[in-house]
Amino acid sequence: MTHTKNKSLQDFEQVIRECVKCGVCQAHCPAYQVNKKEGAVARGKIALAAALLDGEAGLEAHLQQDISMCLMCGSCVNKCPNKVPTHEIVGAIRRQITDNRGLSLVGRGVSTLLGSPALMKTLSKGSALLSPLVLKKVPESSGLRLRFPTPVMKDRTVPNIAFHNLFDRVPEFIEGRSDKPVVGFFAGCSITYIYPEIGEIMVSILQRMGYSVYVPRTQQCCGIPALSSGNGRLVEQLAETNVDAFRRKEVQYIITACASCNGGIGEYYRTMKADYGDFTGKVVDFSVFLKKERLFAELAGMEKWPDRVRTTYHDPCHLKNQGITREPRELLRALPNVDFVEMESAATCCGLGGTFSVYHYEASKAIGARKIDGLKESKAQLIATACPGCIMQLQDTINHAGLSVKAVHLLELVAEALQQQPRKALENGL
């Protein structure tokens, strides 16, 4: 089976040969740090990729296990002297495994859900209705813990499920000022179905700035979970659908408020063998956009609140890998309602890694736990980030550590400052 738009393992042959096995990646690979196995580290995976290309290895179970032990976070690439794109190579191997062996049970479930917006909408509403029956409150936080722990993800904590998704809450098109262009908003699955309030805030801020806002109903998942699962065919399908969704109205920018989505529709789509340049060239992270449009300056000019919330920041991998680390911090420093403090290990992976936390929850928890010491030392009440997936993973980590810290989206803090009233997310959390 050949995918025409995703790169194959053969497409990476030259860069695979450029790996010099120096081992620099060991110190930066979160999966290796928790299990210390060579197959988990980047150079081990590159060696496996080379063996596959040379016909010296097959897709045996042990190889599949090693390839599954990757969060595709890109930490290794940032430190690699030759910039070997291990995360992309792992994706290509996973697609090859799927093509030869079929999707795993988890992969089939993820693919069925992501490929059907109607099913996703029905499931989210059903989960919102049923969650009070099967989940119970964790007293120290606003998360929920499974009443009947599953053997796969024992005691996983999850957020409250919203009954009304983002598409129920905001119009598809909102007319702005005539002197302002139309901007698109790519919401992504987590914001649409789990954290719709974040999407509402983004849309309201863009409205406030005078922009016409287009939130196409035909947009679907960015494709990162399908990419993580090795379902190349679904990634291609989703890419085509999303590109087409934003062709229906002329937009100057396509704004994301999810780091993973930005990495998917921007960074990953750019690597595909398809002409998506007109689309990907418009994709911009919200913090970069808001700085450009001088909202930071407006916030910095506001009178500082006397009772500011001590807040630290976690770097999502998909933004860090693109060099978007300064803007979120500048935003936090500009906010009148926040006392920003840096934390140790702010840039280390939270441990989510798409479907990695489903396949390897214990390893995922161990990776996330490495952030706890830095969080404690910061004495922060809130840990802000720019990725809903990271919010979910960080809060789970915090809950297991027994801390009374709340994981929030940066936009929630912006909304609080602009509304000049305490944020609802603090209720029941502190």
- Final residue belonging to a domain, choices 58, 76, 102: 102
Domain boundary among 84, 102, 120: 102
- With 60 as the cut, is the pLDDT of residue 217 above it? yes
Q: With 90 as the cut, is the pLDDT of residue 413 above it?
A: yes
Lowest average pLDDT, out of 85-99, 170-184, 283-297, 328-342, goes to 85-99
- Beta-carbon neighbour count of residue 158 at 10 Å? 17
The pLDDT of residue 132: 64
Q: What's the pLDDT score for residue 379?
A: 97
Residue 296 in tokens: 């930071």
Domain boundary among 102, 123, 152: 102
What average pLDDT score do residues 4-26 get? 91
| Domain-embedded: residue 349 | yes
- Chain center to CA of 97: 24
Alpha helices of 37-104 — where are they, by DSSP H?
42-53, 61-68, 75-79, 86-101
94-108, 134-148, 179-193, 376-390: least confidently modelled range: 134-148
pTM for the predicted model, two decimal places: 0.91
161 in a structural domain: no
Q: The domain spanning residue 413 has which CATH number?
A: 3.40.50
Q: From CA 221, how far away is CA 236, in angstroms rounded?
A: 11
Q: Is residue 25 part of a domain?
A: yes
Confidence of residue 110 (pLDDT cuts 50, 70, 90): confident
Percentage of the chain beyond pLDDT 70 is 89
Q: Give CA–CA dist 367/370, Å, rounded.
A: 6
Residue 423 has pLDDT above 70, yes or no: no
Most distant CA pair in the chain, distance: 66
* Whether the Cβ atoms of residue 393 and residue 352 lie closer than 8 Å to each other: yes
Q: Are strands 212-214 and 182-186 parallel, antiparallel or unpaired?
A: parallel
Residue 334: inside a domain: yes
Query: What confidence score (pLDDT) does residue 273 get?
Result: 94
**Mean per-residue pLDDT for 330-355?**
95
The whole domain housing 64 covers 9-102
> Which residues, other chains included, contact 275 with Cβ-Cβ below 8 Å and sequence gap of 6+?
none
What is the model's pLDDT at position 429?
Answer: 38
The answer as to whether 126 is a domain residue is no
The CA-CA-CA angle for residues 363, 138, 128, to 5°, reads 90
pLDDT tens-digit readout, 356-373? 888 888 999 999 999 999
Report yes or no on 364 lying in a domain: yes
User: Which residues does residue 169 pair with via DSSP β-bridges, in sequence order?
Assistant: none
Domain CATH number, residue 66: 1.10.1060.10
Q: Is the pLDDT of residue 396 over 90?
A: yes
Query: What pLDDT is attached to residue 427?
Result: 45
- Per-residue pLDDT averaged across 377-390, rounded? 97
Which residue bears the tokens 């989206």?
Answer: 409
In a domain, 258, yes or no: no
- pLDDT tens-digit map of 129-181: 666 655 666 655 556 665 545 555 667 888 877 889 999 999 999 999 999 99
Residue 121: pLDDT band (50, 70, 90) is confident
Per-chain mean pLDDT for the chain: 88
Kindly indicate the confidence band of residue 3, based on its pLDDT and cuts at 50, 70 and 90. low
294-300-306 Cα angle (round to 5): 155
Structural domains of the chain, count: 2
Q: Which residue did the predictor score with more confidence, 107 or 44?
A: 44
- Strand order of the β-sheet with 382-385 is 338-340, 309-313, 382-385, 406-409
In a domain, residue 341? The reply is yes
Mean pLDDT of 294-310: 95
- pLDDT of the residue at 32: 86
Measured between alpha carbons, how far is 30 from 258 in angstroms, rounded to an integer? Answer: 21
Q: How many C-beta atoms lie closer than 10 Å to residue 81's C-beta?
A: 10
Taking the alpha carbons at both ends of the chain, their separation in whole angstroms is 53
